[in-house]
């Protein structure tokens, strides 16, 4: 299918290509032997019998559509409990799903977790609740060789990976940080989600009074992200300032904001997750913003389309704690493709 040029979307496709290289060339078809499927297969082959009991479940297991991002106990095989080969294979699964900038975000999230773990240890907290090895992995298996699913879950980092007939998606996906900035060490001053909030602030500051009123989709900043957490999330209505109503300069800013978020993921995965939005919904998008465009004050924003939703919140009366989630109710946990497979084959 050729990439269309939509008059209602203006420069959207061009900006996304320039900003994030999200769109593949016309006519390109995904291989059934994706690098994510290969990485997941390699991970599975490294598992010992004891590791398999913790890491393997059937594809139809209800755990596949449940997730959380807080600290605490969770099912699955933790990085801390893996041998060296399995741990290396687990890291490769994560890296196969992320872009270069996504891998840097993941690294900085762990830098902050490590600093928090040091503070916990000094305070005598045991068992620890922070740490770079407190991420769990569950591989959901099926005899149908063209489908797989995997959940990677821990504090402030969650990937729900699914592949079916060579198309891989990662949604819901969650990143976060507390504090929002690395406080010490060689990465001091870096913000794992800094690029996203900078792009959002630039867009929010460009709004005129009428647009600002439309963007205020809530009476006040919410305590957390509002959609998608848990099982299948529901897309909110498209309140906010629509892309179609923005000036050309503002359209470029909202395109950049979307590109930053999609740029967390591997290019082909991001393309898969934007395909329906481009082809079926002609790039419809709305921007909502509540709070202050100020890093020192609580703020929340949302990008809403007819299919996916991106939420970013730095609120809780504590603008040093950030959460960000990408959710597509039709594609979450493998979406319609895996649901059809389960219905037909199980």
DSSP for 201-267? HHHHHH--HHHHHHH--SSS--SS--SSSSSS--PPP--SEEGGGS-HHHHHHHHHHHHHHHTTB-H
Residue 21 lies in a domain: no
Please tell me the total count of domains within the chain: 1
Contact 16, 6 (CB under 8 A): no
Residue 50 lies in a domain: yes
Tokens 């895996």, located at residue: 338
CA atoms within 13 A on the CB side of 208: 5
* pLDDT of 164: 86
Return the C-alpha torsion angle 225, 66, 132, 195, nearest 10: -30
Contacts of 191 (CB under 8 A, 6+ apart): 108, 177, 180, 181, 182, 197
Residue 282 lies in a domain: yes
Residue 54 lies in a domain: yes
Residue 296 lies in a domain: yes
| Separation CA 239–CA 304 (nearest Å) | 8
Residue 14 lies in a domain: no
CA-closest candidate to residue 99, choices 2, 21, 212, 152: 21
Q: Find the domain containing 227 and state its range.
A: 29-337
Residue 281 lies in a domain: yes
First to last CA, the chain: 32
Residue 52 lies in a domain: yes
Question: What is the residue-level pLDDT of the chain in tens, covering all 346 positions?
Answer: 222 222 333 333 333 333 333 322 222 233 357 999 999 999 999 999 999 999 999 988 999 999 999 999 999 999 999 999 999 999 999 999 999 999 999 999 999 999 999 999 999 999 999 999 999 999 998 766 678 899 999 999 999 999 988 889 999 999 999 999 999 999 999 999 999 999 999 999 999 999 999 999 988 888 788 775 554 556 668 899 999 999 999 999 999 999 999 999 999 999 999 999 999 999 999 999 999 999 999 999 999 999 899 999 997 656 899 999 999 988 898 876 666 656 665 5
């Amino acid at each position: 299918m050729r990439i269309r040029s939509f008059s209602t979307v203006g420069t959207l496709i061009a900006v996304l290509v320039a900003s994030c290289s999200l769109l593949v060339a016309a006519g390109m078809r995904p291989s059934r032997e994706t690098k994510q499927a290969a990485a997941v297969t390699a991970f599975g082959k490294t598992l010992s019998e004891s590791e398999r009991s913790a890491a393997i479940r059937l594809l139809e297991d209800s755990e596949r559509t449940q997730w959380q991002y807080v600290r605490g106990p969770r099912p699955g095989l933790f990085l801390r409990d893996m041998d060296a080969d399995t741990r290396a294979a687990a890291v490769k699964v994560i890296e196969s799903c992320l872009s270069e900038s996504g891998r840097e975000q993941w690294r900085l999230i762990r830098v902050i977790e490590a600093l928090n773990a040091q503070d916990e240890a000094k305070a005598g907290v045991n068992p620890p609740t922070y740490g770079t090895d407190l991420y769990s992995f569950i591989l959901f298996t099926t005899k149908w060789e063209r489908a797989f699913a995997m959940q990677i879950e821990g504090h402030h980092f969650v990937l729900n990976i699914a592949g079916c007939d060579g198309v891989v998606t990662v949604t819901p996906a969650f990143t976060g940080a507390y504090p929002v900035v690395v406080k010490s060490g060689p990465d001091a001053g870096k913000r794992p989600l800094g690029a996203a909030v900078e792009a959002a602030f630039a867009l929010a500051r460009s709004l005129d009074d009428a647009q600002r009123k439309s963007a205020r989709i809530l009476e006040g900043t919410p305590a957390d992200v509002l959609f998608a957490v848990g099982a299948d999330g529901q897309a909110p209505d498209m309140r906010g300032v629509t892309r179609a109503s923005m000036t050309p300069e503002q359209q470029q800013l909202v395109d950049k904001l979307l590109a930053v978020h999609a740029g967390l993921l591997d290019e082909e995965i991001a393309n898969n997750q934007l395909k329906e939005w481009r082809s079926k919904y002609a790039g419809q998008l709305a921007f909502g913003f509540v709070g202050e465009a100020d890093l020192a004050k609580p703020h929340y924003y949302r990008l809403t389309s007819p299919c996916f939703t991106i939420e970013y919140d730095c609120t809780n009366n504590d603008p040093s704690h950030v959460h960000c989630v990408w959710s597509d109710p039709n594609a979450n946990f493998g979406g319609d493709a895996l649901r059809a497979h389960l219905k037909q084959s199980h």
